[in-house]
């Protein structure tokens, strides 16, 4: 394991050296914050694989289960304890990087989150991670013990999970992290209400969320379905941007809503999860047949073998991420097109300035390398979005000149 640790430390040196000194960063500020964000992402990327590999190689899962089974024989309790140990180990190996990034974000001015609130959110994240992990492992073990095509049964359980994420989470989970309120009365709210009324939004709730206590950056998003559909604007956006820029951003979010992108996202999640579960089950079957049965007498649905299953799915998820992000960028580009179509020339110029403002405040990489874009960007890079608007303005001016 010393060789593995040394290899990882060498990997970190290469990653940070490249992004700090050689990466062609394109940003509207003099900060290297975006390059450090790239470096931090790739630094943390193999941590989960290294942890699971270590657990498998060192036989920790076997030792854990030997100890757990001394206290209980109930599968659900064993799964809870085993998942808790996995969660603690996972958060432990990530903690140094999270602490470093917390300090960097504070120093760079993109975050003003307090230490207390940071630990509170870390606790909430860990709690939900533990419960979701335990539920997933328990369901998988039950299905693996009863059905050959257990992966399909697990996928069927993903259906209510998807409903929970898009219908229940906005109402019950998100408010545990931030405070959501109705937008304050005033000219901006009136203009926003006029815009949503013209767009025909009748059942979407318009909210603002208090993010200024944690961040200085700007954002807005659409979440929920049916009666729980919400268009949410950060209070930093409302306070830090002129009205025309806010309205352009809102047009983008309205585009998501009218084009049913939340539903499309859910459908894509279900399709991708079906393919990944099928592929993961095939790989696990091969590993169990050729490796586990020769090394251990434990069955394929034993908790001791769970780290192998998790490692397989973690690798598959990472491999599928570029495809998932590409679909997300197409969805965001579609919402951008809606905003462009619904905006006059002055509003389009406000859209350009809004993108500039967001990029400056977040110190983002506006024109990343193609492989960074594939692996990290759920939205089109800022420069692409600005170029699209500038092209539209040029086309309109050309058409106007031709018609006159």
| Nearest 10 degrees: Cα torsion 21, 323, 215, 254 | 140
pLDDT of residue 118: 96
Token pair in block for residue 300: 């394929």
H or E element, residue 244: helix 243-258
What is the layout of strands, in order, in the sheet containing 205-209? 180-182, 205-209, 230-234, 220-223
Q: Indicate whether 57 belongs to any domain.
A: yes
Residue 121 is a catalytic residue: no
Q: Indicate whether 296 belongs to any domain.
A: yes
Q: Which of 245, 253, 390, 392 is catalytic?
A: 253
Q: Indicate whether 66 belongs to any domain.
A: yes
In this prediction, residue 188 has a pLDDT band, given cuts at 50, 70 and 90, of confident
3-state secondary structure 167-235: HHHHHHHHHHCCCEEECCCCHHHHHHHHHHHHHCCCCCEEEEECCCCCECCCCEEEECCHHHCEEEEEH
Q: Which residues contact 243 (CB under 8 A, 6 or more apart)?
A: 187, 188, 191
pLDDT of residue 337: 95
Among residues of the chain, what percentage have pLDDT more than 70? Answer: 95
For residue range 314-338, list pLDDT tens digits in order: 999 999 999 999 999 999 999 999 9
CB neighbours (10 Å) of residue 178?
A: 15
In this prediction, residue 222 has a pLDDT band, given cuts at 50, 70 and 90, of confident
Adjacent-strand bridge partners of 233 = 208, 220
Q: Which tops the pLDDT comparison, 168 or 140?
A: 140
For residue range 72-92, list pLDDT tens digits in order: 989 999 999 999 999 999 999
CB neighbours (10 Å) of residue 349?
A: 17
Q: Which of 110, 124, 112, 235 is nearest to 177 (CA)?
A: 124
Mean pLDDT, rounded, of the chain = 91
pLDDT of residue 185: 85
CB 307 within 8 A of CB 56: yes
Q: Indicate whether 238 belongs to any domain.
A: no
Overall average pLDDT of the 262-279 stretch: 92
Q: Indicate whether 240 belongs to any domain.
A: no
> CA-to-CA distance for 55 and 58, rounded, in angstroms?
5
Token pair in block for residue 26: 């394109």
pLDDT of residue 368: 97
Overall average pLDDT of the 96-107 stretch: 97
How many domains would you assign to the chain? 1
Phi, psi of 295 (to 5 degrees): -100, -20
Q: Which residues contact 155 (CB under 8 A, 6 or more apart)?
A: 270, 273, 274, 277
> CA-to-CA distance for 288 and 282, rounded, in angstroms?
10
CB 121 within 8 A of CB 213: no
Side-chain half-sphere exposure of 149, counting CA atoms within 13 A: 6
> CA-to-CA distance for 401 and 404, rounded, in angstroms?
5
Q: Which tops the pLDDT comparison, 41 or 185?
A: 41
Is 70 exceeded by the pLDDT of residue 295? no
In this prediction, residue 300 has a pLDDT band, given cuts at 50, 70 and 90, of low
Is 80 exceeded by the pLDDT of residue 294? no
Side-chain half-sphere exposure of 93, counting CA atoms within 13 A: 19
Q: Which structural domain range is residue 294 located in?
A: 2-179+259-403
Q: Indicate whether 396 belongs to any domain.
A: yes
- Matching residue, tokens 């992004």: 19
Adjacent-strand bridge partners of 220 = 233
Overall average pLDDT of the 358-365 stretch: 95
Q: Indicate whether 173 belongs to any domain.
A: yes
Q: Indicate whether 196 belongs to any domain.
A: no
Is 50 exceeded by the pLDDT of residue 391? yes
Most confident listed range (257-261, 264-268, 319-323): 319-323
Q: Is residue 404 helix, strand or coil?
A: coil
Is 90 exceeded by the pLDDT of residue 109? yes
């Amino acid at each position: 394991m010393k060789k593995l640790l040394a290899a990882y430390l060498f990997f970190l040196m290469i990653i940070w050296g490249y992004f700090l000194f050689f990466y062609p960063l394109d940003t509207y500020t003099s900060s290297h914050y975006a390059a450090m964000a790239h470096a931090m992402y790739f630094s943390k990327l193999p941590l989960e694989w290294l942890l699971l590999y270590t657990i498998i190689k060192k036989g920790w899962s076997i030792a854990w289960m030997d100890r757990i089974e001394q206290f209980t024989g109930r599968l659900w309790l064993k799964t809870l304890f085993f998942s808790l140990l996995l969660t603690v180990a996972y958060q432990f190996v990530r903690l140094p990087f999270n602490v470093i990034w917390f300090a960097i974000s504070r120093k760079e001015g993109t975050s003003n989150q307090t230490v207390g609130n940071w630990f509170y959110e870390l606790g909430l994240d860990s709690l939900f991670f533990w419960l979701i992990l335990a539920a997933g492992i328990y369901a998988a073990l039950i299905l693996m013990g009863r059905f050959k095509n257990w992966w399909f049964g697990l996928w069927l359980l993903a259906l209510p999970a998807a409903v929970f994420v898009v219908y229940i989470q906005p109402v019950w989970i998100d408010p545990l992290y931030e405070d959501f309120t109705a937008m304050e009365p005033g000219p901006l709210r009136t203009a926003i209400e006029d815009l949503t009324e013209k767009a025909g939004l009748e059942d979407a709730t318009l909210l603002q969320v208090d993010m200024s206590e944690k961040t200085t950056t700007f954002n807005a998003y659409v979440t929920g379905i049916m009666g729980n559909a919400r268009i949410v604007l950060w209070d930093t956006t409302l306070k830090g941007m002129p009205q025309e820029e806010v309205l352009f951003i809102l047009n983008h979010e309205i585009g998501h809503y009218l084009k049913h992108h939340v539903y499309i996202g859910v459908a894509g999640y279900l399709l991708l999860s079906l393919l990944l579960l099928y592929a993961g089950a095939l790989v696990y079957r091969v590993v169990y047949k050729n490796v586990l049965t020769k090394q251990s007498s434990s069955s394929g649905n034993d908790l001791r073998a769970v780290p192998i299953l998790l490692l397989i799915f973690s690798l598959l998820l990472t491999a599928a991420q570029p495809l998932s992000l590409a679909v997300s960028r197409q969805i965001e580009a579609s919402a951008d097109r809606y905003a462009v179509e619904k905006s006059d020339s002055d509003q389009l110029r406000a859209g350009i300035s809004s993108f500039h403002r967001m990029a400056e405040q977040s110190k983002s990489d506006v024109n990343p390398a193609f492989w960074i874009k594939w692996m990290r960007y759920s939205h089109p890079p800022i420069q692409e979005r600005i170029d699209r608007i500038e092209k539209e303005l040029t086309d309109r001016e050309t058409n106007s000149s031709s018609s006159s």
